[in-house]
Amino acid sequence: MALRIDVVSLFPKFFQGPLSESILKRAQEKKQVEIKVHDLRDYTHDRHRTVDDKPFGGGAGMVIKPEPVFECLEDICGEESWVVLLSPHGQPFRQEKAAELAGRKQIVLIAGHYEGLDYRIHEHLVDEEVSIGDFVTMGGEAPAVCVIEAVVRLLPGVLGNSESLKHESFHSGHLEYPQYTRPRDFKGWKVPEVLVSGNHREVEDWRKRQARKLTREKRPDLIKRSEK
């Protein structure tokens, strides 16, 4: 049974491009994943299709109302749904979380907007909150696309060569080793000799050393995390 991903958003057209290109497009065509985007305004009941209101206690901006969000999820969720809110309150989204989500039956991603959502949504509707980083985006749509891509590419059969998953950055707790292709000599910068030696054991050893070296230089936090 294919994984189903539902996205709840105020801007459903945002997803038309990303979901109709490359691996995500092929995965949907092959029925490896089913992705549906739901317009939150479809769950409003006034002629202005109002989804937000001023925050109690005052303050700048608008807050998404609870009624349309609850009604939407009551419509699309089943017994095995797992509801994820894209939120700066959430835990950092990492490869381990992508793998966990890839093993579920249905994921519902809520893309927040404006100054956030009525906190009763956080407290009583979502199963978990995730953040893609300590920076501010225009809304939860771009983070939702990141989560979708990270999850879908882990589904069985989605990537042409599943072996490549074993050597990717973050899979083993290290960054991926350097990659080179033709020409062997470009502007005087040559491909490391070991990669054209034909000695597979030496190539593998070199790649492991380079992966550790790059991780120490560029992302030492990954090493510290793996040692915990």
10-residue mean pLDDT series, the chain (228 residues): 96 97 97 98 97 94 96 97 95 97 98 91 97 93 98 94 60 86 97 97 97 95 76
pLDDT at residue number 161? 65
Q: For position 1, what pLDDT does the model report?
A: 81
Instruction: Name the pTM for this structure.
Output: 0.89
pLDDT score at 225: 75
> Which pLDDT belongs to residue 15?
98
- Report the alpha-carbon distance of residue 41 to residue 8 in Å, rounded: 10
What domains appear along the chain, each with residue ranges and CATH number?
3-152 (3.40.1280.10), 162-226 (1.10.1270.20)
Distance between CA atoms of residues 37 and 143, nearest Å: 14
Residues 6+ apart with CB under 8 A from 221: none
pLDDT of residue 114: 79
